[in-house]
A and B are shown apart, each in its own frame.
Chain A
Amino acid sequence: MDTLTQLGGNLGVGFSAALTPPNLLLGLIGVTLGTAIGVLPGIGPALTISVLMPLTFGMDPIGAFIMFGGIYYGAMYGGSTTSILVNMPGEAASVMTALDGFRMTQKGRSGAALATAAIGSFIAGTFATLMLMLMAPTLVEFALGFGPAEYFALMVMALTATTGLSGGSPAKGAFSTLLGLALGTMGIDLQTGQARFTFGMQGLLGGVNVVIVTVGLFAIGEVFWFAATRPKQTEERYGLSGPVGLTRKEWRRSIPAWMRGTVIGFFTGILPGAGATVASFLSYDAERRFSKNPEEFGDGAIEGVAGPEAANNASAGGSLVPLLALGIPGSGTTAVMLAAFQMYGLQPGPLLFEQNSRLVWGLIASLYVSNALLLALNLPLIGVWVRLLKVPTSLLFAAVLAFSTLGVYTLNNSMFDVGIVYVLGILAFFMRLYRFPMAPTILAVVLGPLMEQEFRRALAISEGDPTILLTRPLSASILLVAFTMIAAPFVFRRIAARRHWHQ
Chain B
Amino acid sequence: MKPGRLLAASVFAFGTVYLALTFLIPEPSGGYAAVGPRAFPIMIGIGLIGCSIWIGLGKVQSSPVRELQVNWQLFAFSAVTFFTYILLLDSIGYVLATVGFITLESRLLGSRSWLRNLTVGCVITALVYAIFSALLGIPLPGV
Contacts and interface: CB of A to CB of B under 8 A. Distances in A.
Interface in A163-192: 168-169, 171-172, 174-175, 178, 181-182, 185, 189, 191-192
Given A178-B51, A394-B110, A460-B35, A410 B40 contact: no
Contact of B65 (A405, A433, A455): A433
Interface string B67-85: 0111110110111001101
Contacts of A226: 109
Interface residues of B, number: 71
Interface of B: 7, 11, 18, 21, 25-26, 28, 32-37, 39-41, 44, 47-48, 51-52, 54-55, 58, 60-62, 64-65, 68-72, 74-75, 77-79, 82-83, 85-86, 89-90, 94, 98, 101-102, 105-111, 116-117, 120-121, 124-125, 127-128, 131-132, 136, 138-141
B78 A185 contact: no
A432 to B, nearest CB: 8
Nearest to A225: B75
Given A194-B26, A227-B78, A422-B86, A410 B35 contact: no
B108 A227 contact: yes
Contacts of B94: 406
Nearest to A458: B35
Given A223-B109, A392-B110, A460 B28 contact: no
Contacts of A178: 44, 47-48, 51
B65 A435 contact: yes
7 contacts: A174-B47, A192-B36, A224-B78, A393-B109, A406-B140, A410-B132, A459-B34
Contacts of B90: 415
Given A182-B18, A182-B44, A413 B139 contact: yes
Contact of B72 (A228, A397, A426, A452): A228
B87 to A, nearest CB: 9
Nearest to A433: B64
A410 B34 contact: no
B54 A171 contact: yes
9 closest A-B pairs (Cβ-Cβ)? A464-B34, A394-B109, A228-B75, A398-B106, A394-B111, A227-B78, A398-B105, A189-B37, A394-B110
A467 to B, nearest CB: 12
B106 A174 contact: no
Given A171-B58, A409-B140, A182 B48 contact: yes
A169 B132 contact: no
Contacts of B78: 223-224, 227-228
B60 A171 contact: yes
A220 B78 CA distance: 10
Given A175-B55, A406-B94, A456-B35, A429 B75 contact: yes
Nearest to B32: A192
A472 B106 CA distance: 57
B70 A229 contact: yes
Contacts of B131: 55
A399 B102 contact: yes
Contacts of B33: 456, 459-460, 463-464
Interface string A41-52: 000000000000
Given A178-B48, A178-B51, A227-B71, A463 B7 contact: no
A174 B51 contact: yes
Contacts, number: 193
B27 to A, nearest CB: 8
Given A223-B109, A228-B70, A406-B128, 11 more contacts: A189-B37, A194-B28, A196-B41, A228-B74, A402-B101, A402-B124, A403-B128, A418-B86, A435-B65, A451-B40, A463-B33
A361 B128 CA distance: 33
A197 interface: yes
A342 B120 CA distance: 35
Contacts of A220: 82
Contacts of B85: 402, 405
In terms of DSSP, what is the predominant structure of the interface of chain A?
helix
Contacts of B98: 402, 406
Interface of A: 54-55, 58, 168-169, 171-172, 174-175, 178, 181-182, 185, 189, 191-194, 196-197, 220, 223-224, 226-230, 392-395, 397-399, 401-403, 405-406, 409-410, 413, 415, 418-419, 422, 425-426, 429, 432-435, 448, 451-452, 455-456, 459-460, 463-464
Contacts of A401: 82, 101, 105
Contacts of B72: 228
A169 B58 contact: yes
A224 to B, nearest CB: 6
Contacts of A448: 40
The interface centre, meaning the residue of B32, B34, B127 with most chain A CB atoms within 10 A of its CB, is B34
Nearest to B112: A394
A169 B62 CA distance: 10
Given A172-B55, A194-B28, A410-B139, A452 B40 contact: yes
B44 A181 contact: yes
A229 B69 contact: yes
Contacts of A413: 139
Given A196-B25, A227-B71, A228-B70, A175 B37 contact: no
Contact of A397 (B26, B109, B139): B109
B79 A426 contact: yes
Residue of A230, A395, A406, A456 with highest tally of chain B CB at under 10 A: A395
A460 B35 CA distance: 8
Contact of B86 (A185, A194, A197, A415): A415
B11 A175 contact: yes
Contacts of A228: 70-72, 74-75, 78
Contacts of B36: 192
A452 B43 CA distance: 11
